[in-house]
Amino acid sequence: MSERMQFVKYFIESQSQDAARAIEELPADIMGSLLEELPDATALTALTAMLPYRASVGIRALDPSTAISYLSRLPPNSAASMLRCIDKERRDELIRQLPKPKSLLIAMTMNYSQQLVGAWMDPDIKPLPVNTTVADARNRIESQSQKYNIAFTVNSDQTIQGAVSVVDLLQYPDEYTLITTLIQEGVGAISASSRLKRAIHDSRWGSSEVLPVVDRQNKLIGAIRFIDLITALNSQEESERKNVGNVEFLGFTESYYVGLANLVSMTLASNYQNKESISSEDLLK
């Protein structure tokens, strides 16, 4: 890997949001070549940090097998938000080739309009049954790579009952006690059918980084973070304009377009001026 590409890799891994803003400025062919040349983990970091509409430009520019590989490893809500921005024929083909569990989770979120919480929720959550012991709950969390600092609890019909602090669960001295002792009741859920602009003003964001998402029967079907709502609203703004040069990225700090981001944009684009195609050799010069 060239010194320039090593710099780009470091920038993405250490300042993913700033790097994403720079990559979003790139022409589609350059963006696609960059994603293919980067290590997979670095490319996934970049895609996750990008606004979905612009990330979809990169996905469209990738070789189909590479696109499927990346989509299968992205969180379902991230993958779905990108796939929504791809023409239906290609989108359906990509979804058909994804692993079945991932395609089902993506389909769940895509059943909701982009203006609703359900379209942006994380459907890949593993709630704890209320009749679980502390020991069993710990084993579940350790085997499932818990993504949040709380685990939601449900009864037998998946109706949400509350939440348990992961820290409290791991530190509780009696592992044979039922987790009902630790459950925080009254954890308010957001309806999957709630509009984004209403959900973002929910007062509970002041005390929680993630809230449960429920369907019309109050059954737990996902979770959503405040940053997911910010990304959703910004993505809608950007996809409506379809002109990244004029976008104002609502809710992000003003540091995104600092000189370092501009330097990365120039670094990535400088090798490709007046070129009709991009090869691996071009990118590494």
Map residue 135 onto helix, strand or coil. helix
Q: Say if 190 falls within a structural domain.
A: yes
Ranges of H-type helices in the chain? 3-14, 16-23, 28-37, 40-49, 52-61, 64-73, 76-83, 88-97, 100-110, 134-144, 166-171, 196-199, 226-241, 259-270, 280-283
Encode pLDDT of 50-76 as tens digits.
Answer: 988 899 999 999 999 999 999 999 989
For residues 210 and 133, membership in a common domain is answered with: yes
For residues 152 and 105, membership in a common domain is answered with: no
Q: How far apart, in whole angstroms, are the C-alpha atoms of residue 225 and residue 75?
A: 13
pLDDT, greater one: 117 or 207: 117
Q: Token pair of 125, please?
A: 């959550």
Residue 182 has pLDDT above 80, yes or no: yes
Q: Say if 133 falls within a structural domain.
A: yes
Residue 82 has pLDDT above 60, yes or no: yes
Q: Say if 170 falls within a structural domain.
A: yes
pLDDT, greater one: 264 or 33: 33
Ranges of H-type helices in 112-225? 134-144, 166-171, 196-199
For residues 151 and 222, membership in a common domain is answered with: yes
Confidence of residue 209 (pLDDT cuts 50, 70, 90): confident
- How many Cβ atoms sit within 10 Å of the Cβ of residue 189? 21
For residues 147 and 216, membership in a common domain is answered with: yes
Q: How many domains does the chain have?
A: 2
Query: What CATH code is carried by the domain that includes residue 259?
Result: 1.25.60
Q: Given this model, what pLDDT does residue 203 score?
A: 86
pLDDT, greater one: 3 or 278: 3
Q: How confident is the prediction for the chain on average, in pLDDT?
A: 82
Q: Say if 262 falls within a structural domain.
A: yes
Q: How far apart, in whole angstroms, are the C-alpha atoms of residue 160 and residue 167?
A: 20
For residues 10 and 51, membership in a common domain is answered with: yes
Q: Token pair of 141, please?
A: 């969390």
Q: How far apart, in whole angstroms, are the C-alpha atoms of residue 108 and residue 213?
A: 13
For residues 104 and 165, membership in a common domain is answered with: no
For residues 105 and 132, membership in a common domain is answered with: no
Q: Given this model, what pLDDT does residue 144 score?
A: 66
Residue 270 has pLDDT above 60, yes or no: no
Q: Say if 73 falls within a structural domain.
A: yes
Residue 41 has pLDDT above 90, yes or no: yes
Q: Given this model, what pLDDT does residue 267 score?
A: 52
Is residue 72 a contact partner of residue 37, using CB atoms and an 8 Å limit? Answer: no
Q: Given this model, what pLDDT does residue 66 score?
A: 94
Is residue 284 a contact partner of residue 37, using CB atoms and an 8 Å limit? Answer: yes
CA proximity to 46, closest of 69, 80, 23, 78? 23
Is residue 156 a contact partner of residue 199, using CB atoms and an 8 Å limit? Answer: no
Domain of 103 in residue numbering reads as: 3-112+251-283
For residues 12 and 107, membership in a common domain is answered with: yes
For residues 28 and 100, membership in a common domain is answered with: yes
pTM of model > 0.95: no
For residues 135 and 195, membership in a common domain is answered with: yes
Q: Say if 244 falls within a structural domain.
A: no
Is residue 235 a contact partner of residue 244, using CB atoms and an 8 Å limit? Answer: no
Query: What CATH code is carried by the domain that includes residue 219?
Result: 3.10.580.10
For residues 139 and 220, membership in a common domain is answered with: yes
What distances in angstroms separate CA 139 from CA 132, 142, 162, 170, 175, one per listed residue? 11, 5, 19, 10, 11
